[in-house]
Chain A
């Protein structure tokens, strides 16, 4: 039940009550409210305490203590008006107690270098007014280069996203024990390496921010690759990556690539309602029903892209990828896509991050803009690239272009080759169907020729 007795803007009453429920139900509702509030505020508490205690482990421990304190006192007093501030203050008090005890026990506090800070510590802080540096610091630490990519993803979701270990395990299709060990190891690596909690400045900052963007996009893609029938936690990863991205935009508003990544994710996510049919089979971008795209997300994506482009000079890889996605989002029908612009954007992307996979995408765009022969010429240049040797999209693209050129026999062979290379069952089915279509065309040709 929603509880609330606020009547005016400005300073609201100190606590909320709900008299319409009887006692046990009321207490259950209060507990649920407290747990929800805690989940919503957990990252901020951990961020503030990690900066203070220089330890993620301690930060999590004191955050948990704050939850226990809330569960003890909020059922009596009601949920305070600024629950986040209350929880952080409570966790800090626990941390101060902890360090005072440690000081008395071993006099080691001075060695930790936080003695003076501790003495100057006000009992009540107003974290709402803080610059958000603590949260940014927590994101940077979770995505620190000393950690493996797997560990960065897990730690970001646990510490910044506030997902439970069980939820992360389900999303990544591993056991809870495996995920829990991964997180424990990651935290140990951070403390072993003595990773500082401050936000770095200068070129370091750009590099570290880039690592955060990479992790968020990985999380997004993990969710985006989920198919129907998968655990519901997997598609949730897209929502979480987008939420963290939007949060990051508030913390690093001047960074064009942050807005570029948000634009890219929002526009890609806008296609989710249209990208598979009733049986869960994938529908290619150009065959999707654009009326089913989420136009609220498209509008948000285009706005983020405009902002990114106004900040970026020249545009970085995420801004360019978002610009490509935006070309599709802006086209009312697939036939109206501005392929020349897309081909140019791919060329710019290649100059920043050379990759045969992007070359292949450019070949496809060139084919759409200037005809299949021009695209095939480019794709053929990639045919011997060792990086693409087992990449199913190369034969798949070549097959598509050969088919459009009426070279059905070669197209058939390439579709079959692509089908043998893909790891995705549904994609294989689709490729074999296209191979079958080639075979039908070939047979028709034979009949027409009277052979």
Chain B
């Protein structure tokens, strides 16, 4: 199963301040450890929201808003995707993640959906068929 470790943005990351050498080293060390164990699938840092934009649908109306966005803690600054055997292993790897920010930091861990995760059921079979039908 796959998990995404989401790194939340901070005042610094939103201001475009590059991480310190210590922080970079800690992050590289951690990701090397993931790679050595064969569980690292993908990892990327995201540029500040000032360089991004949002598209919003409200009441059938579509609005485009340019960044930056104010609610820093809700923003994403990067992610790491790991492939592990079970949830416990994901918990253990997440626990080893260094604080990704120079000051207060936060990560959020989410499991990636796979159809197989639902197990076998009639509803899922229908979902698969729907999927196949839509693709045609």
Chain A residues packing against B (C-beta within 8 Å): 1-4, 6-10, 16, 32-33, 35-37, 39-40, 132, 229, 232, 235-236, 239, 242-247, 250, 273, 277-278, 289, 291-292, 296, 300
Question: Which B residues touch A239, using CB under 8 A?
Answer: 83, 85
Instruction: Classify the interface of chain A: helix, strand, loop or mixed.
Output: helix
Q: A6-B99, A33-B92 are in contact. Are A296 and B39 (CB under 8 A)?
A: no
| Most A Cβ at <10 Å: residue of B25, B85, B128 | B85
Complex contact B38–A36 (CB within 8 A)? no
Known: A8-B98, A33-B88, A132-B36. 19 other contacts (CB 8 A): A1-B91, A2-B95, A3-B95, A4-B94, A6-B98, A6-B99, A9-B22, A32-B88, A33-B91, A39-B85, A39-B89, A235-B116, A246-B38, A250-B35, A250-B36, A273-B115, A277-B132, A289-B136, A291-B135
Complex contact B135–A289 (CB within 8 A)? yes
- The reply to whether the CB of B23 lies closer than 8 angstroms to some CB of chain A is yes
Complex contact A247–B38 (CB within 8 A)? yes
Complex contact A296–B81 (CB within 8 A)? yes
Q: How many A-B residue pairs have CB under 8 A?
A: 82
Q: A243-B38, A278-B128 are in contact. Are A2 and B94 (CB under 8 A)?
A: yes
10 sample A-B contacts, Cβ–Cβ < 8 Å, listed by A number: A1-B91, A2-B94, A6-B99, A9-B98, A9-B99, A236-B85, A244-B38, A250-B36, A278-B128, A296-B81
Considering only CB atoms, which chain A residue lies closest to B127 in the complex? A278
Q: A9-B99, A36-B89, A289-B132 are in contact. Are A246 and B81 (CB under 8 A)?
A: no
- The reply to whether the CB of B66 lies closer than 8 angstroms to some CB of chain A is no
Cα-based distance from A44 to B84 in the complex (angstroms): 17
- The reply to whether the CB of B125 lies closer than 8 angstroms to some CB of chain A is yes
**In residues 103-136 of chain B, which contact A (Cβ within 8 Å)?**
109, 115-116, 120, 125, 128-129, 131-132, 135-136
Complex contact B26–A9 (CB within 8 A)? yes
Complex contact A300–B41 (CB within 8 A)? yes
Complex contact B23–A9 (CB within 8 A)? yes
Within the complex, the shortest CB–CB distance from B32 to chain A, in Å, comes to 8
Interface membership of chain B positions 39-81, coded 1 if the CB is closer than 8 angstroms to chain A and 0 otherwise: 1111000000000000000000000000000000000000001
Choose one: B109, B120, B132; the contact of A2 (CB below 8 Å): B109
Q: A10-B26, A277-B132 are in contact. Are A36 and B36 (CB under 8 A)?
A: no
Q: A9-B26, A10-B22, A239-B83 are in contact. Are A4 and B37 (CB under 8 A)?
A: no
Within the complex, the shortest CB–CB distance from A36 to chain B, in Å, comes to 4
Cα-based distance from A1 to B92 in the complex (angstroms): 10
Cα-based distance from A246 to B33 in the complex (angstroms): 12
Chain B residues packing against A (C-beta within 8 Å): 22-23, 25-27, 35-42, 81, 83, 85-86, 88-89, 91-92, 94-95, 98-99, 109, 115-116, 120, 125, 128-129, 131-132, 135-136
Question: Which B residues touch A229, using CB under 8 A?
Answer: 120
Within the complex, the shortest CB–CB distance from B91 to chain A, in Å, comes to 5
Question: Which A residues touch B131, using CB under 8 A?
Answer: 292
Within the complex, the shortest CB–CB distance from B3 to chain A, in Å, comes to 11
Considering only CB atoms, which chain B residue lies closest to A276 in the complex? B128
Within the complex, the shortest CB–CB distance from A238 to chain B, in Å, comes to 11
Considering only CB atoms, which chain B residue lies closest to A247 in the complex? B38
Within the complex, the shortest CB–CB distance from A299 to chain B, in Å, comes to 8
Complex contact B36–A7 (CB within 8 A)? no
Q: A132-B36, A239-B83, A246-B38 are in contact. Are A36 and B92 (CB under 8 A)?
A: yes
Question: Which B residues touch A1, using CB under 8 A?
Answer: 91
Choose one: B27, B81, B92; the contact of A40 (CB below 8 Å): B92
Question: Which A residues touch B116, using CB under 8 A?
Answer: 232, 235
Complex contact A245–B38 (CB within 8 A)? yes
Within the complex, the shortest CB–CB distance from B126 to chain A, in Å, comes to 8
Considering only CB atoms, which chain A residue lies closest to B115 in the complex? A273
Q: A243-B38, A243-B83 are in contact. Are A16 and B95 (CB under 8 A)?
A: yes
Cα-based distance from A250 to B88 in the complex (angstroms): 24
Cα-based distance from A35 to B87 in the complex (angstroms): 13
Question: Which A residues touch B25, using CB under 8 A?
Answer: 9
Question: Which B residues touch A278, using CB under 8 A?
Answer: 125, 128-129, 132
Q: A8-B99, A9-B26 are in contact. Are A37 and B92 (CB under 8 A)?
A: yes
Within the complex, the shortest CB–CB distance from B104 to chain A, in Å, comes to 9
Within the complex, the shortest CB–CB distance from A45 to chain B, in Å, comes to 14
| Most A Cβ at <10 Å: residue of B27, B98, B136 | B98
Complex contact B89–A40 (CB within 8 A)? yes
